């Protein structure tokens, strides 16, 4: 079976930045660098689910109309679709006039970025339960926010789910001596916290408490927990499950029925993206590392080599970013100018996705050390990253454009509109991003 990326490391004990090479530099500096690569997801509002093909676990797949959910969760009201959400786009016919950043000095948002949990340069996982500011989160990857304000983050080193609340870190779920990887993670609008484990899909009901939802067999052949099995809820409670081993995306409705929404079971490399403009269920797929549903119900799928795919509500597949010719060969230092069309940007590896209250999409690229935003007009903006002069996150905080984000393994928004970043064993909060 073809592969396209190195397996995620089992342990990453130190937090080092990637080499930063200025675009105008004429001196090559040899330096050793330890790349911290951690992959994977988030919460959002939605309308009707994307079109799908009916299937049963382990059974044959047959075409069917877009399903409706007869057993919708008890939600008082569902917000109307946001018309400004990102729509499918086609590749730009002409590149931007410039392919180098137009501004000098640090780029990105100036909002305060402060460390809220984790111990820099410590991946031991020690200090849990304990104070969030002094506990080691191990290898923090996927991050999500709960209905009560809790922050959930996966420690991919020790295969446990941590809960951060009121300045303390506790263990919500742990594999312990049973072994095996966990992930993905998703939280519904109503606060349902679900986690994919070797025992199957479970709901976290409290620290150390969980109930079984479905076995791995019931979810479909070859579904495997880990960095390449992201989960995402839509606005009505349907759960999307990425099956990177089977190159498909499945949807588990609130009534437990399973449908195929993307992928034909065959692998396809990144360039050029295959299947754009046609049914998502007929297209081959690559390995998937992040998913989120936007405010209009479109499913966004981040692929390991950098393509951001969209499955529209009608089931049509498109590539909206990541596969363009303007690549970040030297990381954040060569990120294209703000205002560049998203389809023209080439990403190195999508590790995380989130959508804000305005319908804008945030993409974490752990390979390039970049967090970027896709605006509703399909242009990009640099949010933060691993750029010259940036310093490590601190408890007191500093402007985001002066704070180093070298990993961005997980992205999520809290109720205040702050962006939470799972970053190399840390969780960093950037205030007011949704309103910026």
Q: How many other CB atoms sit within 10 Å of the CB of residue 174?
A: 17
Residue 33 has pLDDT above 60, yes or no: no
Q: What is the mean pLDDT of the chain?
A: 81
First vs last Cα of the chain: how many Å apart? 44
Asked whether the beta carbons of 243 and 265 are under 8 A apart, the reply is: no
What confidence category does residue 332 fall into, taking pLDDT thresholds of 50, 70 and 90? Answer: confident
Q: What is the pLDDT of residues 165-203, one digit of tens each?
A: 999 999 999 997 788 999 999 999 999 999 999 999 999
Distance CA 35, CA 19 (A): 9
Cα angle vertex 257, ends 286, 143, to 5°?
A: 55
Asked whether the beta carbons of 231 and 242 are under 8 A apart, the reply is: yes
CA distances from 145 to 94, 132, 162, 253 (A): 40, 16, 12, 21
- Residue-level pLDDT at 10: 38
- Residue-level pLDDT at 179: 83
What confidence category does residue 380 fall into, taking pLDDT thresholds of 50, 70 and 90? Answer: very high
What confidence category does residue 64 fall into, taking pLDDT thresholds of 50, 70 and 90? Answer: very low
Cα 197 from chain centroid (whole Å): 18
CA distances from 216 to 43, 175, 430 (A): 23, 16, 36
Beta-ladder partners of 242 = 249
Cα angle vertex 315, ends 309, 319, to 5°?
A: 20
Enter the tokens of residue 365. Answer: 């690229």
Distance CA 339, CA 337 (A): 6
Distance CA 335, CA 293 (A): 26
- Residue-level pLDDT at 159: 95
Higher pLDDT, 419 or 16: 419
Distance CA 340, CA 347 (A): 13
How much is the average pLDDT of 32-49?
A: 34
Residue 19 has pLDDT above 50, yes or no: no
Residue 7 has pLDDT above 80, yes or no: no
Region class of 425: left (phi > 0), else alpha (psi between -120 and 50), else beta: left
Q: What is the pLDDT of residues 240-283, one digit of tens each?
A: 999 999 999 999 999 999 999 999 999 988 778 899 999 999 99
Distance CA 347, CA 326 (A): 8
User: For residue 66, which phi and psi values (nearest 5 degrees)?
Assistant: -55, 125
Distance CA 93, CA 190 (A): 43
Residue 24 has pLDDT above 50, yes or no: no
What confidence category does residue 53 fall into, taking pLDDT thresholds of 50, 70 and 90? Answer: low
- Residue-level pLDDT at 73: 35
Instruction: Express as a percent the part of the chain with pLDDT over 90.
Output: 67
- Residue-level pLDDT at 273: 87
Higher pLDDT, 15 or 271: 271
Residue 31 has pLDDT above 70, yes or no: no
Q: What is the pLDDT of residues 91-120, one digit of tens each?
A: 443 333 333 344 456 899 999 999 999 999
Distance CA 311, CA 29 (A): 43
Burial of 227 (0-12, 13-18, 19+ CB in 10 A): buried
Residues 6+ apart with CB under 8 A from 63: 53, 54, 281
Asked whether the beta carbons of 176 and 133 are under 8 A apart, the reply is: no
Question: Which of 373, 388, 378 is CA-nearest to residue 332?
Answer: 388
Question: Which of 362, 360, 40, 427 is CA-nearest to residue 231?
Answer: 40
Pick the range with the lowest mean pLDDT from 44-58, 126-140, 187-201, 339-353: 44-58
Q: How many other CB atoms sit within 10 Å of the CB of residue 408?
A: 29
Cis peptide before 96 (omega within 30 of 0): no
Pick the range with the lowest mean pLDDT from 301-310, 322-331, 342-351, 414-423: 322-331
Beta-ladder partners of 302 = 290, 308
Region class of 295: left (phi > 0), else alpha (psi between -120 and 50), else beta: alpha
Instruction: Express as a percent the part of the chain with pLDDT over 70.
Output: 76
Residues 6+ apart with CB under 8 A from 242: 184, 228, 229, 230, 231, 249, 288, 291, 301
């Amino acid at each position: 079976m073809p592969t396209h990326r190195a397996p995620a490391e089992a342990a990453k004990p130190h937090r080092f930045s990637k080499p930063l090479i200025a675009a105008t530099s004429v001196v090559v500096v040899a330096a050793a660098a330890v790349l911290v690569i951690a992959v994977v997801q988030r919460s959002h509002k939605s309308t009707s689910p994307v079109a799908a093909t009916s299937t049963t676990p382990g059974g044959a797949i047959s075409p069917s109309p877009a399903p409706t959910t007869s057993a919708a969760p008890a939600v008082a009201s569902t917000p109307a679709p946001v018309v400004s959400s990102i729509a499918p786009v086609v590749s730009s016919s002409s590149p931007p006039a410039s392919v180098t950043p137009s501004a000098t000095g640090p780029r990105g948002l100036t909002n305060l970025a402060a460390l809220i949990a984790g111990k820099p340069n410590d991946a031991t996982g020690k200090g849990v339960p304990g104070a969030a500011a002094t506990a080691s989160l191990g290898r923090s990857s996927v991050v999500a926010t709960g209905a009560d304000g809790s922050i959930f983050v996966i420690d991919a080193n020790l295969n446990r789910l941590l809960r951060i609340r009121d300045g303390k870190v506790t263990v919500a779920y742990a594999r312990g001596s049973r072994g095996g990887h966990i992930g993905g993670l998703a939280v519904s609008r109503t606060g349902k916290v679900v986690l994919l484990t070797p025992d199957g899909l479970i709901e976290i009901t409290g620290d150390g408490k969980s109930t079984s939802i479905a076995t791995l067999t019931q979810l479909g052949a070859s579904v495997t927990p880990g960095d390449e099995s992201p989960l995402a809820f839509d606005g009505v409670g349907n759960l999307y499950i990425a099956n990177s081993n089977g190159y498909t995306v499945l949807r588990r409705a609130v009534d437990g029925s399973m449908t195929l929404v993307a992928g034909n079971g065959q692998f396809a490399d990144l360039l050029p993206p295959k299947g754009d403009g046609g049914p998502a269920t007929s297209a081959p797929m690559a390995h998937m590392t992040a998913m989120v549903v936007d405010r209009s119900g479109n499913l966004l799928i981040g692929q390991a080599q950098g393509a951001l795919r969209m499955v529209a509500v009608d089931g049509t597949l498109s590539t909206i970013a990541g596969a363009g010719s303007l690549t970040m060969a030297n990381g954040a230092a060569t990120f294209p100018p703000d205002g560049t069309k998203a389809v023209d940007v080439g990403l190195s590896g999508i590790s995380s996705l989130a959508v804000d209250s305005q319908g804008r999409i945030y993409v974490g690229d752990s390979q390039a050390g970049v967090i970027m935003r896709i605006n509703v007009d399909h242009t990009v903006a640099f949010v933060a990253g691993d750029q010259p002069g940036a310093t490590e996150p601190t408890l007191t905080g500093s402007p985001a454009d002066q704070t180093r984000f070298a990993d961005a393994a997980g992205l999520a928004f809290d109720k205040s509109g702050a962006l939470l970043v799972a970053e190399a064993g840390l969780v960093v909060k950037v205030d007011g991003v949704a309103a910026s």
